[in-house]
Amino acid sequence: MTDNYRICVGMIVLNDKNEILVGKRLDHPSGHWQMPQGGIDENENPEKAVWREMLEEIGTNNATMIKESNHWINYKIPTETLATLPWGNKYVGQTQKWFAFRFNGNDSEINVGSKDRIHTYLAAGYKFNLTEKISVEPNLIYRKIKAIPSTMDLTLNLNYDNAFELGYSHRTNSSNSNLAIFHISNEVSVGLCYERPLLNELGGIDLNTYEILIRLKID
């Protein structure tokens, strides 16, 4: 097993008495006590992830961010514990960015069983035919999830005679990506996608990604 670390965020939540919120895990046989934390989703930056995790973990985001750690913290998890985790066969431990928050509410607002979030999406796009063979298609997707900063996806695709496509995409506060697709026939297409996160400083971990696309049309 290589030294792969799961990329995560953790949070120290303090009340007005400087007491720290910790919880006992009921979903794991160890029953360990820990502070709220969780993995960073694809195309998320750490700050967006920590607000999402706060809402998922304790059911509220009525807090003020005090401080973000300057560095990422790596730690390995004992082998016997890894064997009990759903992702234990993929990683040897976690690398975490930690945040400190001042909780502005009262204890009654905390609900560790809350997972509900309202998702709002708005999308718009149009295909412009510049010539008989060349078309350009800009698209915009606005995404808002309760308690998480909103994001927008801005994409621009260029199509030449349905022979190949070139695309560019920007997700606010997250990433830029480029795409090239070649249509070999009506049934077969191949392509390459490159994505670069806007925040790419995980202590030597390269977050740039490359994807090879193969599309088969089967009637």
**Where are the domains positioned within the chain?**
5-109, 119-216
Confidence band, pLDDT 50/70/90 cuts, at residue 26:
low
**33 vs 205: which has the higher pLDDT:** 33
CA 159 to the chain's CA centroid = 29
Q: Is the pLDDT of residue 57 over 90?
A: no
**120 vs 115: which has the higher pLDDT:** 120
Tens digits of residue pLDDT in 150-209: 778 899 999 999 999 999 999 886 678 999 999 999 899 999 999 887 654 444 445 678
Q: How far apart, in whole angstroms, are the C-alpha atoms of residue 69 and residue 50?
A: 12
Across the strands, what pairs with 167?
Answer: 157, 179
Nearest Cα neighbor of 172 from 150, 188, 151, 141 is: 151
- Lookup result for tokens 């234990």: 88
Q: How far apart, in whole angstroms, are the C-alpha atoms of residue 163 and residue 148?
A: 40
Structure tokens at 186: 């009506």
Backbone φ, ψ for residue 47 (5° rounding): -65, -45
| Lowest pLDDT segment from 6-10, 105-109, 124-128, 151-155 | 105-109
User: Stretch 43-53: mean pLDDT, rounded?
Assistant: 90
Nearest Cα neighbor of 210 from 196, 194, 199 is: 194
Structure tokens at 50: 């920590």
The amino acid present at 81, given as its one-letter code, is T
Q: How far is CA 36 from CA 21, 69, 141, 194, in A?
A: 8, 15, 30, 33
Q: Is the pLDDT of residue 90 over 60?
A: yes
pLDDT > 70 in the chain, percent: 83
Confidence band, pLDDT 50/70/90 cuts, at residue 30:
low
pLDDT > 90 in the chain, percent: 44
Chain-wide mean pLDDT for the chain?
A: 84
Architecture category of domain 5-109 in CATH: Alpha-Beta Complex (3.90)
pLDDT at residue number 111: 79
CA 153 to the chain's CA centroid = 14
Confidence band, pLDDT 50/70/90 cuts, at residue 4:
confident
Q: How far apart, in whole angstroms, are the C-alpha atoms of residue 46 and residue 185?
A: 42
